[in-house]
Amino acid sequence: MDDLTSSRRRLLVGALAGGVGAAAAGCLGTDSDGDAGDGDGAELRISLSRVDGSLRDRYVHSRDDPPEEWDEAALDAALADESYATQHRKPFFASPDDPAYVLRDGTYYRLGSVVVDEVVETCPVLRLFEVDDEGSGSDDGGESPVDGGEEGDLPQADQRAVHIAHFVARSRGDAGGYPVGLVERGGYAYRAEAARAESALLADGGPDRVMYKDSTYRVEIERERFHEAVYRPIAETVAESPERMEGILRATFVGPSVAPDDLSAESRRIVEEADMEEYAETHPYSDAYVELLRAIDARPFIDGNVRKDAGVRGVEEEMLRYGDDYYERYLRILDEEDN
């Protein structure tokens, strides 16, 4: 149950990307005296984004149309219960919190993998240093740099390597950092054998300088040892009908289910406003707003001192079911200084 709970609730740090149109605080809700709440506490904004189609449309892939990042050989082997292994990367990028599903011949399978071994590999790592970096060992001599961009002469494998390695070179001395999901050991690791065979930078007598985005970099290649996991792909039958699969996905990804008839007319009007744009009230919230927050299991937000007492940060996102429709719901707390 912990896995399901963690998959349902995700905390997004910072403001909701793109933002949503602002709405007047308390424009629909009423308090016990029939007036909109006009307190001076934290403002709570809710927005709802309708999910088109079924959950199967969103989470299940056809065997004939798998995502590009999946290892199709691993998929075939898992479905046929044959021996197969991938190294370093999970074959379907699936985890207990974020499972992958596939449909083949009317049967639904949950995909995953288990670690079955560890191997040690030696891979070349490309690091780039600006030619005027202190301590880089560069000077004004040397050959002319090759163009490392998309329009340059380097093979595609090297273009990708230069693109990723330049993030680190650019970030030295800069607080901006670099994408850790792409960068390895301060550069780019040539893990694929095909990429190593194609590379011009790795070849004997290869270029020692590259030009990228108007900067000239010195090329440094080091061969380093990596300890890598070996994964065995798994496909487990979970459903034989669309209805059963929809129920599984609902239990996995959807939080509260709310029946419109269980809400008051004012609470339903708040839902309509949040669906169209965004709805907001300032604490203390109206009875209708509190009723809705309880119905969608957002009780910690009812507290006016929610940041301190409930540990709420940034924007909270969750999927819910309202009537027969699914929604992504976003709750955002804004203090007085944020408005």
The model's confidence at residue 1, banded by pLDDT at 50, 70 and 90, is very low
Which ranges of 108-172 would DSSP assign to H, the alpha helix? Answer: 156-171
Rounded distance between C-alpha atoms, residue 85 and residue 233, angstroms = 7
Please state the pTM of the whole predicted model.
0.71
Is the alpha carbon torsion for 70, 76, 79, 85 positive or negative?
negative
Residue 337 has pLDDT above 60, yes or no: no
- Block residue for tokens 């004004």: 140
Instruction: State the angle between helix axes of 265-276 and 287-295 in degrees (0 to 180), rounded to the nearest 10.
Output: 70
As given in the structure block, the two tokens for residue 80 are 């046929």
CA distances from 210 to 12, 20, 182, 185 (A): 38, 43, 20, 20
What are the structure tokens assigned to 99, written together?
């499972």
Nearest of 42, 35, 23 to residue 286 by alpha carbon: 35
pLDDT higher than 80, residue 29: no
pLDDT (tens digit, 9 = 90+) per residue, 74-127? 999 999 999 999 998 899 999 888 899 999 999 999 999 999 999 999 999 999
Largest distance between two CA atoms of the chain = 83
Cα separation, 240 vs 238, in Å, equals 7
What's the confidence (pLDDT) of residue 77? 97
